[in-house]
Amino acid sequence: MIPVPGFEGRRIAVFGLGRSGLTAARALKAGGALPVLWDDSVSSRMQAEAEGFVVEDLTVADWSGFAALVLSPGAPLTHPKPHWTVEKARAAGVEVIGDIELFARAIATLPEGERPAVVAITGTNGKSTTTALIGWVLKQAGLTVHVGGNIGIGVLALPGFGERGPPGPLSAGPQEADVDVRAPKAVYVIEVSSYQLDLTT
């Protein structure tokens, strides 16, 4: 899991408790945030409660107390009309984001030289195939690769940011003896839907 810092001690509304929503809640909690969850599905709410999360009816919540709304990719941000949580968040001046944005912010907290490489694939057709292929090619090159996002594992459920990888090909020549050119710690290859892009700043 990739803990998401930056919201320590702050209440974050999370709507939609499918794979990405519940994973986002776990990552926020691991980073010190206070996620407040809701879903239209009773069974999803029960699962969240069983994990020890605060489940609160967001239709009657005080939105002024939230620092952000993490919206499920399945809930409309704009079309055909904004989801009711989006309307409440905007009325209270609360930013609306998604799991990919949380992933990007977690990376941004790392020192520049310690950040992993990220390959994001989006589009109309062939996203999953392209994502899997790029992940395979990079693994064959000997890199530490994590594949996920809208394919397989949710992006925040991927392994956390680890140690730097083995020396890269540019460090092999004698002229590079004094230059530490190394492979990135890891490469995250993620499939991103248009809905997730809408929730990314």
Which CATH number covers residue 41? 3.40.50.720
If asked whether residues 59 and 121 sit together in one domain, one would say: no
> What pLDDT, on a 0 to 100 scale, did the predictor assign at position 178?
46
Tell me which residue has tokens 């090619």: 137
pTM above the 0.85 mark? yes
What is the percentage of the chain residues whose pLDDT exceeds 70?
A: 89
173 falls within a domain? yes
Confidence of residue 19 (pLDDT cuts 50, 70, 90): confident
Query: Residue 154 to residues 39, 132, 146: CA-CA distances in angstroms?
Result: 18, 14, 11
Same domain, 91 and 119: no
On whether residue 70 sits in a domain, the answer given is: yes
pLDDT at 151 (0 to 100): 86
pLDDT digits (tens, 9 = 90+) for 152-182: 899 999 999 874 444 444 333 444 444 444 5
Residue 34 resides in a domain: yes
Q: Are residues 112 and 94 in the same domain?
A: no
Q: What is the CATH number of the domain that holds 189?
A: 3.40.1190.10
| Domain limits for position 36 | 11-98
CB 157 within 8 A of CB 190: no
Pair 131, 177 in one domain: yes
CB distance 185 to 118 below 8 Å: no
Same domain? For 122 and 194 the reply is yes
pLDDT in tens, 37-85: 999 999 999 999 999 999 999 999 999 999 999 999 889 899 899 999 9
Asked whether residue 65 falls in the same domain as residue 119, the answer is no
Domain boundary among 98, 123, 152: 98
29 in any annotated domain: yes
Number of domains in the chain: 2
Separation between Cα atoms, residue 84 and residue 72, nearest integer Å:
13
* Within a domain: 2: no
Torsion of CA 120, 179, 114, 98, to 10 degrees: -20
Residue 152 lies in a domain: yes
Spatial CA neighbour of 133 closest among 145, 124, 116: 145
- Positions of E strands within the chain: 11-15, 34-38, 54-55, 66-71, 95-97, 117-121, 145-149, 187-191
Q: Does residue 194 share a domain with residue 112?
A: yes
* Residues 187, 198: Cα–Cα separation, whole Å: 23
Residue 47: inside a domain, yes or no? yes
* 144 lies in the same domain as 77: no
Residues 93 and 123 in one domain: no
Size of the chain in residues: 201
Predicted confidence at residue 16, as pLDDT, reads: 96
162 and 181 both lie in a single domain: yes
Domain boundary among 37, 69, 98: 98
Nearest CA among 199, 172, 161 for reference residue 4: 161
Q: Which residue has the higher pLDDT, 154 or 184?
A: 154
Answer whether residue 5 is part of any domain.
no
Say which residue, 162 or 144, is predicted with more confidence.
Answer: 144
